[in-house]
Amino acid sequence: MSKILVTGGLGYIGSHTVVELMKAGYEPVIVDDLSNSHPKILDQITRITGKKPVFHQLDLKDEAGVRNLVTAGPNISGIIHFAASKAVGESVQFPLKYYHNNIYSLINLLNAYYGKAVNFVFSSSCTVYGQPDHLPVDENAPVKPAESPYGNTKQIAEEILRDTVASGANYKVISLRYFNPVGAHESALIGELPIGVPQNLVPFITQTAIGKREKITVFGDDYNTPDGSCIRDYIHVVDLAKAHIAALRLMETDSFKGYDVFNLGTGKGNSVLEIIHAFEKTTGVKLNYTIGPRRGGDIEQIWGQVTKAKESLHWQTELSIDTMMASAWAWEKYLSNNPL
Ligand code: UD1
């Protein structure tokens, strides 16, 4: 069985990807420093899959620890690199934490496995496009100056990976530019676990619905969009997880060489108000929401051109906005009955 190192494998997208890897017959080896994840997620993955994956608690900034993984750890054929800090606001406040954690970890990992034949999947973001000039945005659109240190770490990491591949290393690399991942596993045993007050829309919606937050504020209704609120391309986290397996499969073929990048979205945009109303309709729960000022750094609208992933990865999304909302809600209810 092919072993895949999954860094950040107990995090939101990481845990869903571990489940899909196991379903697809891979053996994930999870590395996570638990800085933004919960150790119990390992038990939850075990409940879903019936098998406990190998787990190492390790901070990828620990150079000796990462080298030890290579010498003492299993032979791996691939790496899926999720481990990174991801709070946009925090990155503006503590840029050095973000550059240190997100960039140094990547360099340690690449150095440690340098020369080995490893297929590498990188967790990138549509944030690299900023506000695109044309919609839907495709992979050839220019990368815009980053709005935040977090966004900049994604741009820099993509460049590091491109340069590393070009240097003749034995790596094949695919960067996946995610649009907005939401929702949870159908079992409701894993999902997004924000620490403190959620920054992202859907966890804020579900926490408001369950009564943990009094109300949700829509950040601006005066944008140049049909209903005035911002538009994003929301993608179910399980669809997103499956794309990582498709990326590995592509790199396992001889025809794939070097480095490539793919958008991962549905190809459709939805406004904040549409998401709120979809949640209300699907769950039957009324949301207490108000309209507030714009949030600094938000772009007006973005959705992806996703034909490249469809053609080359033979992957496309299957799950609807309603399924995204229903699964996110089922997970929130599970958490309130079974706190981790
Ligand atoms: C944000 C980051 C993006 C990052 C992603 C990680 C910015 C500018 N972008 O995406 O780089 O990859 O998180 O998950 O921060 N909204 C509300 N009320 C809320 C929360 C959000 O109206 O309480 C709106 C936002 O204004 C936005 C939409 O909901 O229009 C989605 O917001 P969010 O879930 O935070 O994702 P992004 O900002 O798109």
Distance 216 CA to ligand 1 centre (A): 13
Protein residue whose Cα sits closest to atom 15 of ligand 1? 88
Atom of ligand 1 nearest to the CA of 181: 14
What pLDDT sits at residue 262? 98
Q: pLDDT band at residue 156, thresholds of 50, 70 and 90? A: very high
Cα gap 86→18, rounded to integer Å: 19
With tokens 């220019």, the residue in question is 142
**Quick check: helix, strand or coil at residue 193?**
coil
Q: How far is CA 160 from CA 149, 172, 220, in A?
A: 16, 13, 36
- Residues spanned by the domain of 64: 3-184+234-265
Atom of ligand 1 nearest to the CA of 182: 34
Provide the H-helix boundaries in 37-104. 40-49, 63-72, 88-93, 95-98
For residue range 169-199, list pLDDT tens digits in order: 999 999 999 999 999 999 999 999 998 999 9
Name residue 116's beta-bridge partners. none
Task: Determine the distance from the C-alpha atom of residue 294 to the mean position of all C-alpha atoms in its chain, rounded to a whole number.
Answer: 24
Distance 153 CA to ligand 1 centre (A): 17
Q: Is 19 part of a structural domain of the chain?
A: yes
Q: Is 94 part of a structural domain of the chain?
A: yes
Protein residue whose Cα sits closest to atom 16 of ligand 1? 201
Contact 6, 241 (CB under 8 A): no
Protein residue whose Cα sits closest to atom 20 of ligand 1? 201
Protein residue whose Cα sits closest to atom 27 of ligand 1? 230
Atom of ligand 1 nearest to the CA of 292: 22
Q: Is 298 part of a structural domain of the chain?
A: no
Q: Is 194 part of a structural domain of the chain?
A: no
Q: Is 54 part of a structural domain of the chain?
A: yes
Q: pLDDT band at residue 1, thresholds of 50, 70 and 90? A: confident
Distance 89 CA to ligand 1 centre (A): 11
Q: Is 147 part of a structural domain of the chain?
A: yes
Atom of ligand 1 nearest to the CA of 232: 39
Mutation choice for ligand 1 from 13, 88, 152, 237, CB with most ligand atoms inside 8 A: 88
For residue range 253-270, list pLDDT tens digits in order: 999 999 999 999 999 999
Contact 289, 218 (CB under 8 A): yes
Would residue 104 show up in a list of annotated catalytic residues for this protein?
no
Contact 51, 27 (CB under 8 A): no
Among residues 113, 129, 150, 178, which one is catalytic? 150
Distance 333 CA to ligand 1 centre (A): 23
Cα gap 145→140, rounded to integer Å: 15
Q: pLDDT band at residue 244, thresholds of 50, 70 and 90? A: very high
Q: What are phi and psi of 226, to 5 degrees?
A: -55, -45
Q: Which residues line ligand 1 (CB under 6 A)?
A: 86, 88, 125, 127, 147, 151, 180, 199-201, 204, 216-219, 230, 232, 272, 295, 297-298
Structurally, how many domains does the chain consist of? 1
What pLDDT sits at residue 182? 98
Q: How far is CA 316 from CA 238, 267, 305, in A?
A: 11, 10, 12
Q: Is 257 part of a structural domain of the chain?
A: yes
For residue range 55-67, list pLDDT tens digits in order: 999 999 999 999 9
Contact 155, 103 (CB under 8 A): no
Q: What is the pTM of this model?
A: 0.98
| pLDDT average, residue stretch 314-323 | 98
List the CATH number of the domain containing 114: 3.40.50.720
- Whether the bond between 136 and the residue before it is cis, its omega within 30 degrees of 0, is yes
Protein residue whose Cα sits closest to atom 10 of ligand 1? 180
Picking from 51, 200, 41, 173, the residue whose alpha carbon sits closest to that of residue 109 is 173
Atom of ligand 1 nearest to the CA of 204: 23
Q: Is 206 part of a structural domain of the chain?
A: no
Percentage of the chain beyond pLDDT 90 is 98
